[in-house]
Amino acid sequence: HRTPVLTSRFINDLSGAELFFKCENLQKAGAFKARGASNAVFGLNDEQAARGVATHSSGNHGTCLSYAAGRRGIACTVVMPHTAPQAKKDAVRGYGGRVVECEPSTTSREA
C-alpha cells in the first residue's frame, strides 16, 4: 500500500532543517510493520508458507503478520497476552488470524 510523504513548514522552522515524514501509520494494518511482515511472508517458499506463520505480539506486529498472511492465503497464529486491547485481538481475527491468549509477561526479573 503506497503511503504519502509529507512535510511541515512549522516543524521545519522549529528544527532548522527540511524534514520528510513517511506516513506508514496509513498502511492497511495501521503500522509500518506491515512492510516487514509482508516481506517476511512473501519471502517464504511454498513449503514454508504451507506451514503458516506465528508470532507473539500484543498488537501491531500480530495485526500486520495476520494481514500479510491473509494476503498470501496462509494460516497465521498470534499469541497475545489476555490483557491486550480487544481492538487489537479483533484486528488480528479480522485479517483471518487465530488468536491464542496467554498470561502477560513481566518486565521485572527476580534476582
CATH number at residue 77: 3.40.50.1100
Grid look-up 534476582 returns: 111
Q: How many residues does the chain have?
A: 111
Residue 41 domain flag: yes
Residue 55 domain flag: yes
Residue 2 domain flag: no
Residue 8 domain flag: no
3-state secondary structure of 72: helix
3-state secondary structure of 94: helix
pLDDT of residue 18: 96
Domain that holds residue 95: 31-102
Residues with active-site annotation: 33, 58
Q: Measure the CA–CA gap between 97 and 65, rounded to whole angstroms.
A: 8
pLDDT of residue 30: 63
Question: How does pLDDT run along the chain (111 residues), one tens digit per residue?
Answer: 677 899 999 999 999 999 998 876 676 666 667 788 999 999 999 999 999 999 999 888 999 999 999 999 999 999 999 999 999 999 999 999 999 999 988 765 544
3-state secondary structure of 104: coil
